[in-house]
Amino acid sequence: MAAPADFGPALAVQAHGVVMLKAEGIDVVAAGDTSADPWDIDPAHPDDGHGAAEPVHGRDCAAAPGATAPRLGVSQWSDPEHGRYVKMVTRGGILTGFICVGMPRTGAELTLLFERGSELPADRSLLLRYDGPDVDPAGGGDAFALDATVCWCNGVTVGAITASAAAGNTDVACIGSATRAGTGCGGCRGRIGEVLERFALTNSTEIVG
């Protein structure tokens, strides 16, 4: 019998990446494993969330003898009328997968939590408030206040952009290089331009388009 062909070393298991779909009227972000459903949760599982670690973002951790897998958690929220939907899957409180539709700021925050392997707040509904009117720059607050967030993907404020503009970065591309604003989903590039225009008007500085 012929020896089996040698195809070289097996490919390494890749971590689940983040997938973004951004277009006019479309805002979808998904990451990790979201196959679990609320009815998959075991109500008899210990509530402390500790035990043998399961693969998180493609990484395997050693299991302690006799330990159990971290508790599965699934949270879902939907608003079909306004085209919004969020699903979060956790293991031991750590975000291991999510889907976010029509909620860009919540999606940006979940992306950061996923990439950092962070634990979600016990009250998952807190994450939905990122897209609420109380944090919307146009929702009654000053859109050009120095502490107003422009880039939610990278946490860049109006103050950071104006400071960068004062240092000579007077176009959107240069702002992105200096502060990373607009280098995530790209949905805030228009807002960056508005901040730069405002800066130009108040500082008599010519803005390169």
The per-residue pLDDT for range 102-158, each reduced to its tens digit, is 888 888 888 888 888 888 888 888 888 877 765 554 444 567 888 888 887 777 889
Looking at the chain, the whole-number percentage of residues with pLDDT higher than 90 is 25
- Confidence band, pLDDT 50/70/90 cuts, at residue 9: low
Span 196-203, average pLDDT: 88
Q: Is the pTM of this model over 0.95?
A: no
- How much is the pLDDT for 119? 85
Give the closest residue to 150 by CA, choosing from 111, 183, 118, 110: 183
Average pLDDT, the chain: 77
In this model, does residue 71 exceed pLDDT 60?
Answer: yes
Distance CA 166, CA 162 (A): 6
Span 21-28, average pLDDT: 79
